[in-house]
């Protein structure tokens, strides 16, 4: 029962991940057959810019920028990063020979999977807190006592901190491979 319930919650995220591959394949096929193959080369730039744009959320979270609602910016981060990943995956279909760009693509796919895992954990943790609150309310504790109890549990903070310690290093590994690919392209490509 618990397993079924968990899978049910994870299913939308799995579908979002699969949609990433499907969208990239469709985009690649369309551009290839419609005579816009050359455009695939520039999708890498567009995808990278979208992903960089998505980091506005990270800047807000670290209070480097003071504006924007974190909840909205998190959704923005998810959407931009997913869209950027679609463009980069379509772009990667041109040549898939060299190790560095190949590693960058694999790292990107792992980061997207990690991001979706974080989304799942966040949703799960919020539901844990909600059920814990209900449980404490049933014990007739005051509102202040409930919040105090929940804070001490630090359910959400603990889980997400653990997840971040994986997601962020994965992201920078992707960034390192992507940066190497960009530098190599700038050096060897005819612009």
Partner 1 sequence: MVKHTAIISFLITFLAGVAAILVFPYYTINPGVLIEDHLNLQNDCFACHSLGQGALTQKCISCHKIPDIGIITTAGASKVPENLKSSTLHQSIINIQCFDCHTEHNGLSRENATLNFTHNLLPEDLLNTCVKCHADKKPADDLHKTINADCSNCHQTDQWQRVEFKHELIGNKVNNCSGCHRSVMPAGDFHKLLPAVMQCKECHNTNAWKPSHFKHELLGNKKNECRSCHEYKKPDDALHNGIGKSIQCVQCHTTDKWKPSTFDHTKYFRFDNNHPSNCSDCHNINKTFETYTCYNCHEHTPARIEREHLKEGIRNFSNCGECHRSGEKKEAEGRERKRRRGDKDNN
Nearer to partner 1, 136 or 177 (CB): 177
Q: How far apart are CA 36 and CA 146, in angstroms?
A: 60
Is 184 an interacting residue with respect to partner 1 (CB under 8 A)?
A: yes
Q: How far apart are CA 152 and CA 144, in angstroms?
A: 12
Residues between 101 and 120 that touch partner 1 (CB under 8 A): 101, 103
Is 188 an interacting residue with respect to partner 1 (CB under 8 A)?
A: yes
Nearer to partner 1, 50 or 178 (CB): 178
Per CB under 8 A, the list member of 15, 69, 95, 127 interacting with partner 1 is 95
CB 97 within 8 A of CB 174: no
Name the nearest CA neighbour of 84 among 118, 116, 108, 110: 108
Is 38 an interacting residue with respect to partner 1 (CB under 8 A)?
A: no
CB 180 within 8 A of CB 110: no
CB 88 within 8 A of CB 48: yes
Q: How far is the CB of 113 from partner 1 (least distance, A)?
A: 17
Q: How far is the CB of 99 from partner 1 (least distance, A)?
A: 5
Handedness of CA 101, 103, 104, 108 (dihedral sign): positive
Nearer to partner 1, 150 or 156 (CB): 156
Can you give the binding site for partner 1, defined by CB under 8 A? 94-95, 97-101, 103, 161, 164-165, 168-169, 171-173, 175-177, 179-180, 184, 186-191
């Amino acid at each position: 029962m618990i397993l079924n319930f968990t899978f049910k919650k994870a299913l939308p995220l799995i579908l979002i991940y699969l949609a990433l591959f499907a969208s990239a394949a469709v985009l690649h096929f369309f551009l290839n057959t419609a005579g816009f193959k050359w455009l695939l080369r520039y999708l890498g730039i567009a995808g990278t810019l979208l992903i960089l744009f998505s980091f506005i959320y990270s800047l807000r979270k670290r209070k480097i920028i003071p504006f924007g609602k974190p909840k909205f910016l998190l959704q923005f981060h998810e959407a931009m990063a997913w869209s950027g990943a679609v463009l980069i995956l379509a772009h990667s279909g041109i040549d898939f020979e060299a190790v560095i760009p190949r590693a960058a693509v694999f790292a990107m796919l792992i980061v997207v999977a990690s991001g979706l895992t974080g989304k799942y954990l966040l949703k799960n943790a919020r539901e844990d807190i909600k059920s814990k609150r209900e449980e404490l309310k049933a014990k007739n504790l005051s509102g202040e006592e409930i919040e105090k109890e929940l804070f001490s549990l630090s359910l959400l903070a603990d889980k997400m901190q653990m997840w971040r310690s994986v997601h962020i290093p994965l992201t920078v590994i992707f960034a390192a491979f992507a940066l190497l690919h960009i530098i190599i392209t700038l050096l060897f490509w005819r612009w």
